[in-house]
Chains A and B, each alone.
Chain A
Amino acid sequence: MSKILYAQTHEWAKIEGNVVTIGLSDHAQHELGDLVFINLPSVGDKIKAGEAFCDVESVKAVSDVMAPVSGKIIEVNEDLESAPESINSDPMGAWICKVEADDIPGDLMDEAAYEKFIK
């Protein structure tokens, strides 16, 4: 069983046991506009919930991507490096990385709560 939760900083986290896949929400990609660059993390990096681990740039500006969970990165979606715009066209499909999580904060929201949060 997997479930998708959202952080207040607009990342999604797909939780399957202790493996968490991370991406940017549709709301986030919409607010950022056309993405033209992503600075990906590396496999083996330790990330901490609430702290920046990656950055994306739209034509206009650079934005940090915050870790929704804590843990160690076990896989990175290298395809994004040459095609960051796939985050705009398919935000739920264009995952950034997979993490072996050691902490999943309790304040992550389910879809209904997140929809309400961004209203």
Chain B
Amino acid sequence: MAKRTPLYDIHVKYGGQIVDFAGYELPVQYEGLGVLKEHTAVRTKAGLFDVSHMGEILVMGDDAETALNNLLTNDIRGMYDGQVRYSLLPNEKGGAVDDVLVYRISGKSYLIVVNASNADKDARWISARLPQNVTFANISDAVSQLALQGPMAETILRKLVSEDFIPKKYYSFTKNVVIDGMRCIISRTGYTGESGFEIYCGNIDACNMYETIMKAGKDDGLVPAGLGARDTLRLEAAMPLYGHELGEDIPVNEVGLGFGIKMNKENFVGKAALEAHEPEYERVGAKLIDRGIAREHCPVYLGNEQVGIVTSGTHAPTLGYPIAMLRIKKGLKEGLTVDVRGKRLRIEIIPLPFYKKA
């Protein structure tokens, strides 16, 4: 049976259309709004997402940094307390167990934020590979997460906490922040390509936190936003989604995430496999020349030869035309088509990200 986040009743109250996603009952969109309006609100004003389905894992101890660093493609040494870093969690073959955010609470304490669909798998993977003197805790079921995203997000947050507690830099966070008596972490991160924050709090405070933020943003155009808009927003920003652009069998050096893979690090799980693997495919962006929308799994052709697949595709609400991310053989530019329900549509390779905030 699908799980519910602590905010389930609030979604229903706001008219959320509930779907099953990664084992959770979550709103895909809200009555009277819908994907396009919610998407536009995040690009122009602000939207509030329930992302409590995401998993949270604590890793603590004197050797936490060294032990974790061995499990990640990125290098977490040299981070400051309150910094966030993106990394892949690689498998031995060089594929991805998951992609994660690493929060450095201190040099001996890290919070790892993982995808809901992988949370149990990640917990097993990580805990089995930590030495005994490193403490591991899967706190996913105790923590709720709200994403307040959009150009008005900071204005709204300033009504709730003093400026000192709002993280200044992208990919940094503040902890032990108190909003209306509720303790939380505020992180300047997101999955929309817009400025914004992710707020972590205990389940017991989730509903009050949600309503407090909604109330604070009511004159700033804040709307509830669902999974549909989350997907179109991240796709315009060309952010990868596990299960689409990333997977156990996709070498992480074929996904355009080189900034998060430090091959000069002494060692990490999967490093040898990646060193031995000359990338054959790459992740690229495309725009459709012919009318139609290419969805995930659609085959991509050069002439009659299949050269890859669409990993994500949608109509891009901000851009006003259909876009897709492809996994295709390296170096191909011209003359590509995509098979959409039996029809070959011409596509044009364009640079990623599709959308970048001004």
Q: Is the CB of B35 within 8 A of A60?
A: yes
Complex contacts, B322 vs chain A, CB 8 Å: 37
Q: Does A9 lie at the interface of the complex (its beta carbon under 8 Å from any beta carbon of B)?
A: no
Q: Does B36 lie at the interface of the complex (its beta carbon under 8 Å from any beta carbon of A)?
A: yes
Complex contacts, A57 vs chain B, CB 8 Å: 293, 315
Q: Is the CB of A59 within 8 A of B291?
A: no
Complex contacts, A55 vs chain B, CB 8 Å: 341
Q: Is the CB of A62 within 8 A of B341?
A: yes
Cα of A34 to Cα of B315 in the assembled complex, Å: 11
CB-contacts of B7-44 with A (<8 A): 28-29, 34-37, 39
- Minimum CB–CB distance for B26 against chain A, Å: 14
Q: Which residue on B lies nearest to A58, using beta carbons?
A: B35
Number of residues on chain B facing chain A (CB within 8 A): 19
Complex contacts, B82 vs chain A, CB 8 Å: none
Q: Does B228 lie at the interface of the complex (its beta carbon under 8 Å from any beta carbon of A)?
A: yes
Cα of A53 to Cα of B231 in the assembled complex, Å: 29
Q: Which residue on B lies nearest to A59, using beta carbons?
A: B35
Majority DSSP secondary structure for residues of B touching A: mixed
Q: Does B292 lie at the interface of the complex (its beta carbon under 8 Å from any beta carbon of A)?
A: yes
Cα of A59 to Cα of B39 in the assembled complex, Å: 11
Q: Is the CB of A59 within 8 A of B292?
A: no
Q: Does B61 lie at the interface of the complex (its beta carbon under 8 Å from any beta carbon of A)?
A: no
Q: Which residue on A lies nearest to B229, using beta carbons?
A: A59
Q: Is the CB of A59 within 8 A of B315?
A: yes
Interface string of A86-100 (1 = CB under 8 A from B): 000000000000000
Complex contacts, A59 vs chain B, CB 8 Å: 35-36, 39, 228, 232, 314-315, 317
Q: Does B271 lie at the interface of the complex (its beta carbon under 8 Å from any beta carbon of A)?
A: no
Of the residues B28, B34, B293, contact of A62 by C-beta under 8 Å: B293
Q: Is the CB of A60 within 8 A of B341?
A: no
- When A60-B228, A62-B341 are in contact, do A37 and B35 touch as well, CB less than 8 Å? no
CB-contacts of B25-83 with A (<8 A): 28-29, 34-37, 39
Complex contacts, B314 vs chain A, CB 8 Å: 59-60
Cα of A43 to Cα of B334 in the assembled complex, Å: 34
CB-contacts of B269-310 with A (<8 A): 291-293, 295
Q: Is the CB of B315 within 8 A of A37?
A: yes
- Minimum CB–CB distance for A32 against chain B, Å: 10
Cα of A62 to Cα of B231 in the assembled complex, Å: 16
Complex contacts, A62 vs chain B, CB 8 Å: 293, 295, 341
CB-contacts of A29-76 with B (<8 A): 33-34, 36-37, 39, 55, 57-62
Q: Which residue on B lies nearest to A60, using beta carbons?
A: B228
Cα of A97 to Cα of B138 in the assembled complex, Å: 56
Of the residues B36, B291, B293, B295, contact of A34 by C-beta under 8 Å: B36
- Minimum CB–CB distance for B228 against chain A, Å: 6
Q: Is the CB of B35 within 8 A of A39?
A: no
Cα of A57 to Cα of B293 in the assembled complex, Å: 8
Cα of A72 to Cα of B39 in the assembled complex, Å: 40
Q: List 22 A-B contacts (CB under 8 A).
A: A33-B29, A33-B35, A34-B34, A34-B37, A36-B36, A36-B317, A37-B291, A37-B322, A39-B291, A57-B293, A58-B35, A59-B39, A59-B232, A59-B315, A59-B317, A60-B35, A60-B228, A60-B231, A60-B314, A61-B295, A62-B293, A62-B295
* A residues in contact (CB < 8 Å) with B: 33-34, 36-37, 39, 55, 57-62, 81
* B residues in contact (CB < 8 Å) with A: 28-29, 34-37, 39, 228, 231-232, 291-293, 295, 314-315, 317, 322, 341
Q: Closest 10 CB pairs between A and B?
A: A36-B315, A59-B35, A34-B36, A34-B34, A57-B293, A34-B35, A37-B293, A60-B228, A33-B34, A59-B315
Q: With contacts A36-B36, A55-B341, A61-B295 known, what are 15 further pairs, Cβ within 8 A?
A: A33-B29, A33-B35, A33-B228, A34-B35, A34-B36, A36-B315, A37-B293, A39-B291, A39-B292, A57-B315, A58-B35, A60-B28, A60-B314, A62-B341, A81-B291
